[in-house]
Amino acid sequence: MGAKLWAAAGLTGGLLLAGGGWYAVAGTDSSTHAVCAADLSKDPVVADEFKAMAVVETVKHTRAWDDEGGSSFLSSQVHVLRTLQGTVPEVLTVTQGVTKKGTAAGGYVDDDPLYAVLEPGRQYVVGIETMDNEGQGPWVGYVAPAKRGVDGEAAHWRDVQRAPVPAPAHCDDVVIG
């Protein structure tokens, strides 16, 4: 294990211990949570957030399921038409969070207008996270229809990757309790 990895592990462990100590001292009357996320409405942020991106065509849905917490997931096999950044295999199965809408085939939506549900036969730009969803393949944290065609999307994202990443928006903390 390299020195940087050991340092990161030590820092993470220290932060966990400090957080646990704070929680033990402060009690459970209230807690503060940061409610921040990357602004995926800005393409430079998307390109910075996802180290692997590609233009894909959805081949088929391979699995849909609900977890015990009420969340729904959809895994889809995709064919990579063009890698935009990082390393992406030619064919892979990706998983995304969805919302159930009826029981008919294709009965899934997403409440976020910036996050499309992969549909067979259609082309999308995807940002792929490296995490594995319990053996279901890489997670897509960004899905948008490929409106510019494969070559147009490649040119657009090449330009986006050269653009400066905007500073993150102010992150407000919310006190719960």
Sequence ranges of the domains in the chain: 3-36, 43-162
pLDDT higher than 90, residue 123: yes
Q: Which CATH class is domain 43-162?
A: mainly beta
Per-residue tokens: 33: 């949570």
By three-state DSSP, how is residue 74 classified?
A: strand
By three-state DSSP, how is residue 45 classified?
A: helix
User: Who's near 48: CB < 8 A, 6+ residues apart?
Assistant: 38, 165
- Which residue's entry shows tokens 């490929």? 146
C-alpha–C-alpha distance, residues 4 and 168, integer Å: 25
pLDDT higher than 90, residue 9: no
- Quote the pLDDT of residue 131: 55
Per-residue tokens: 32: 């503060």
Comparing C-alpha atoms, which of 60, 62, 41, 40 is closest to residue 50? 40
- Quote the pLDDT of residue 33: 46
Comparing C-alpha atoms, which of 140, 158, 141, 139 is closest to residue 150? 158
Report the range of poorest mean pLDDT among 102-106, 119-123, 136-140: 102-106
Give the pLDDT confidence of 68-88 residue by residue, as tens digits. Answer: 888 888 999 999 999 999 999
Comparing C-alpha atoms, which of 45, 121, 120 is closest to residue 76? 120
User: Who's near 153: CB < 8 A, 6+ residues apart?
Assistant: 55, 82, 84, 125, 146, 147
pLDDT higher than 70, residue 40: yes
C-alpha–C-alpha distance, residues 139 and 115, integer Å: 13
